[in-house]
Structure 1
C-alpha cells in the first residue's frame, strides 16, 4: 500500500503558513515603525515600589526635588519607569532607606538564576518574565537569556529592532566553538529600563551537535563552561541574569546549570507534573554525579521549587501542595503563583502583568489576585538574592 502524504511537504507547508500568519499578527500588534513603551505608574504604585508613603512622593514632587511627573486632568501624578529609577537614586542619596538602591556593590557577585524543569507547560517562561520585570521595577539591572530554541521569552518582547535569529543573533553565536562573537554584541535593550535580553532561535539546537562533535575530538567537558564564559563577559553590567531553559535536560541546560548561582524549578501542583519533576531530578542527579566525579560539579547559593498555576479551591491540588510541602520542606517557596486568566491574557498580548494597566481587564479583581501572588513569590526570590549577597534584612 502506497501512502500519498509527504512528510516533508506537510512540515514545510504548515511551517511556512504558520510563520506568515504569526508574523502578520505580530505586525498588527507592533508595526515596524511602532515604538513599544512601558506604561506609566501612579504615585501610589511608585510609593509601593520604593517602600515609602505616597505623601512623601507628593512632597518630593511639590518641592521640585525629583523628576517632574505627568499631571492628569484629575490631578493624578504619573511617572515613567525611568523617573521611578531617578526617584530611587534620589532617595538613595538621602540615605532614607537601606538598600533603596539594590544594585550590588563590592564583592557581591552577579546572581545567575536558571529557571528550569523537564516538563513543558510548567510556567518557566512566565516565571522568568515576571521575575525579570519585578526585579527591574525594584531597581536591579537584569539580563534575561532565552535558552529555549522555541524562543517563547523572545516572542514576548514583540518586535526588537535589528533582531533576526536567522542572522545568528542568538546566544549560540557567543557559545559556539568556532569563531564565537562577543556576548555584548547580542544583547538587546527592551522598552523596560533595566531589563535587557539575549534572544533565542532555532540555531540553538546546533549546540547539541557541536558539543557531540567537540567531545568526539577532545573527549573533554569544556562545553560545560561555554555558557558561563559567555555570561562572564557581561556579568559586571548586571545584578541578576535569568536563564529561561528549554524543557529538556540537554547539553545547553547542563551548561546553564553549571553557570548558575541559583536555580528555580517551577512545578504545577498536578500529579503528572510532580511525577515528571521527580524524573527530571533523578536524571539531573545522574548527570551531576558524573560531573562531580570529573571535578566539574556545580555549586549554587540556593535551589528552590515554586508551585505555579495553583488553584487553591481544587482539592487534589491542595493535597498535592501538602505532599510537596512535606517532601521539599524549606526548599519549596512559601508562596505559590495562582492560575489566572489575567496572566494568560497578558501573555497573549505579549506582556507581563507589570506592563498591563489594571483597567484593561474586565474583572480587575482577577488582576489583583494574580499580581498579589506573583509579587509575593518574586519578593521571596528577591530575599534569596539578598541572602546570597549576605545583606542584612
Structure 2
C-alpha cells in the first residue's frame, strides 16, 4: 500500500500558508510605514521609576526644571520614555541620589545574562522582554539578543525598520566562522530609549552545522567563544545584555552560557517542568564537565532559578514551590512571576506589560497583580546585577 501524503509537500504548503497569514497579521498590527511609539507615563509612574515622590516631580515641572511634560485637559502630566530618561539624567546631575543614574561606571563590567531552560513554555521570552524593558525604563543601556531560531523575542517587536532575517540580519552573521560582520551592523534600535535588539531567524540553525565542520577541521573548543567575541565588540555601549536562549542545549546555547556572566533559569511550578529542568541540569552538567576538562570552563557571577506562571492558590503548585525552595535554597529567587491573562494578552498584542496602558485591560486589577509580581522579580534580579558590580545594597 502506497501512502498518498507527501511529507515535503505537507510541510512546505503549510509553511507558506502560515507564514503569509502571520505576515498579514503583523502588517495589520504594524504596517511598514507605521512608527511604533512607546506610550507616555504619568507623573505617578515616573516618580516610581525614579524613586522620588510625585510631589517632587510636579514641583520640578512647575519650576520649569527638567523636560516639559504634556499636560492634559484635566491637569495630568505625561512624560515620553525619552523625557523620563532625560529627567533621570537631570536629577543625577543636580540631585543627591547616588544611583538615580544606574549605568555602570569604570571598573564595572557589562553584565551578560543568559535566560535558559530546554523546556519549551517556561516563559524564557516573556521573562527576557519584561526584564529588558524594566531595566531600560530604570535607565540602563540594554541589549536583548534573540538566540532562538523560532524568533519569538524578535516577533514581539513587530516590523523593525530594515530587518529581514532572510538576508542575514541575525546574530549568526556576527558569529559565523567565515567572513563574520561587525556586531554593530546587526543591532536594531527600538521604540524604547536605551533598549536595542539583535534579532533571530532560521539561519541561526546553521551555527550547529558550522561548528561541527569547524571541529572536524580544526578540533578544539574555540566555537564556545564566538558569542563572547561578538558581544565584546559592543560591550562598551551597554550595561546589560540579555540572551534569550533556545529551548535546547545545543552549540549556540553552550556558547551563550560561556559568554554569560549570570544565568536565569525560568521554571513553572509543575511536575513536568521541574522534571524537565532536572534533566536539563544533568545534561548541562555533563557538558560543562567536558568543557572543564578541555580548559574552557564557564564562570558566572550568579545563577538563579525563577518560578514562572505561578498560581499561589493552586495546591499542587504550592507544594512544588515548597519542594523547589527546599532543593534550590537561596538559588531560587524569592519572588515568583504570577500566571496572568494580562501577560498573555499583552504578548498577543506584541507588547510587554510596560508598553500597555492599564486602561486597555477589561480587568485592571488583573494587570495590577501581574505587574506587581513582575516588578518584584525584576527588582530582585537588578539587585543581583548591582551586587555583581560591588555596589552597596
Alignment of structure 1 residues 301-380 onto 2, 5 Å: 301-380=301-380
Aligned twin of 2:60 = 60
Q: Is structure 2 residue 285 aligned with structure 1 residue 285?
A: yes
Structure 2 SS opposite 1:333: coil
1:248 is matched with which residue? Answer: 248
Task: Output the CA distance in 2 between the equivalents of 1:329 and 1:115.
Answer: 19
Aligned to 1:97: 97
Distance 1:358 1:113 in 2: 29
Helix, strand or coil for the counterpart of 2:242? strand
**Aligned to 1:125, what secondary structure does the other structure show?**
helix
Any residues of structure 2 matched to 1:20-169 within 5 Å, and which? 20-169=20-169
Measured on the aligned residues, the alpha-carbon RMSD in Å equals 0.4
Q: 5+ residue gaps in structure 1? A: none
Match of 1:204 in 2: 204
The CA distance in 2 between the partners of 1:5 and 1:185, in whole Å, is 44
Within 2, Cα distance between the matches of 1:58 and 1:266? 39
Q: Distance in 1 between matches of 2:154 and 2:15?
A: 18
**SS in structure 2 opposite 1:154?**
helix
Does the residue aligned with 1:265 lie in a helix, a strand or coil? strand
SS of 2:356's equivalent?
coil
Secondary structure of 1:223's match? Answer: helix
List, as ranges, runs of 4+ consecutive aligned residues in structure 1 with deviation greater than 4 Å. Answer: none
CA distance in 2, matches of 1:29, 1:149: 22
> 2:195 aligned with 1:195, yes or no?
yes
Cα distance between partner residues in 1 of 2:246 and 2:164:
20
After superposition, what is the alpha-carbon deviation per residue over 1:32-86, rounded to whole angstroms, capped at 9, x for unaligned? Answer: 1110000000000000000000000001001111100000010000000100011
TM-score, length-normalised on structure 1? 1.00
Aligned mates of 1:53, 1:169 — CA distance in 2: 43
**1:275-316: CA deviation from partner (whole Å, max 9, x where unpaired):** 000000000000001111111000000000000000000000
Per the TM alignment, residue 98 of structure 1 is displaced from its structure 2 partner at its CA by: 1.6
Count of residue pairs the alignment pairs up: 393
Question: Which whole-Å deviations, capped at 9, do the CAs of 1:341-380 have from their partners, x for residues lacking one?
Answer: 0000000000000000000000000000000000000000
The corresponding residue for 1:9 is 9
Distance 1:315 1:51 in 2: 36
2:238 equivalent in structure 1: 238
Tell me the residue number matched to 1:213. 213
1:94 Cα offset (Å): 1.8
For 1:391, the equivalent position in structure 2 comes to: 391
**1:95 deviation in Å?**
3.5
Per-residue deviation, 1:144: 0.1
Cα distance, 1:118 vs structure 2: 1.2
- Report the alpha carbon displacement of residue 194 of structure 1 after superposing the two structures with TM: 0.6
Tell me whether 1:257 sits opposite 2:260 in the alignment: no
| Alignment-derived partner of residue 225 in structure 2 | 225
